[in-house]
Amino acid sequence: MKKAIVLPNILKDPSLRVTSTVVNKLIGFDVEVYLSEEYPHNNILGVTYYSELPSDADLIIVIGGDGSVIDASRLSLQLELPLLGINIGKVGYLATLDPERLELLSSVVEGKVSTEEKMLLIAEKHSSDGRLLKSDRLAVNDVVICHDSYLGISEIKLENGRGDVVQYRADGIILATPAGSTAYSLSAGGPIISHGLDSITVTPICPHSFFNRSIVYGADERITITNMAETSLNISIDARLFDVLKKGESCTVYKSERRLRMINLDDTNLFSTLSKKIKLLHELV
């Protein structure tokens, strides 16, 4: 790895202190570092500032939390480059490298790490007569369908390609990737899915019925969610508003053919990392 684009989160690293440390480490490993010219030039020395995205980079390094990694995923897919997240957020399941362990960057530079390809979801909105209305974003973690407020109960029908139907009365539902199974879906009581197992997990949010379990669908399923109630529902993708689902309208969620490539550090393990993160969350409460 010879050239890297560094993407700091200015809200989490306002003084660019962590960013400067990362950049200095990379430069010490003879890596050319690209940084957007929107960041203060006098704060970080030795980098190449760009106004247009460089086309010859080998890696994107994101400094922030999981939200920063998700925001950078579009750029990763656009440039077809792997991502590495350096965590300065609260928990960090996607941003796996802590600032105290930056010595591991040497393994990244030397190519001694592997990449993990994470499954992504597509969400398509359809009108009540089946017309495709909107589809322009991929989900790294989840697609969530719920009220814009927590008043009232959602009436939601799920149907897969074989015609199997499940109906939920709940505040909403979460459709999660394996990576997203340790995010909102886990908080709502959903199962933990190994990131190497492609699947779509549907978890109800505060269900108001006896059927209150998650369902794990195969990765090749196309799941159609229809709003059966009078009130509209919001569709959000990775916590960003996608569109509104009115009565009778539907949203179809399925696996994308594209995958997000992320650096997999050899000493990280999903379940040991999860155990540490859950312990950290208890300490933060």
Asked if residue 124 lies in contact with residue 145, where contact means CB atoms within 8 angstroms, the answer is no
Burial of 152 (0-12, 13-18, 19+ CB in 10 A): exposed
Distance of alpha carbon 201 from alpha carbon 216, whole angstroms? 4
DSSP state of 97: B
Asked if residue 22 lies in contact with residue 6, where contact means CB atoms within 8 angstroms, the answer is yes
For the question of residue 66 being annotated catalytic, the response is yes
Burial of 209 (0-12, 13-18, 19+ CB in 10 A): exposed
Distance of alpha carbon 183 from alpha carbon 143, whole angstroms? 12
Instruction: Report, as residue numbers or ranges, the catalytic residues.
Output: 66
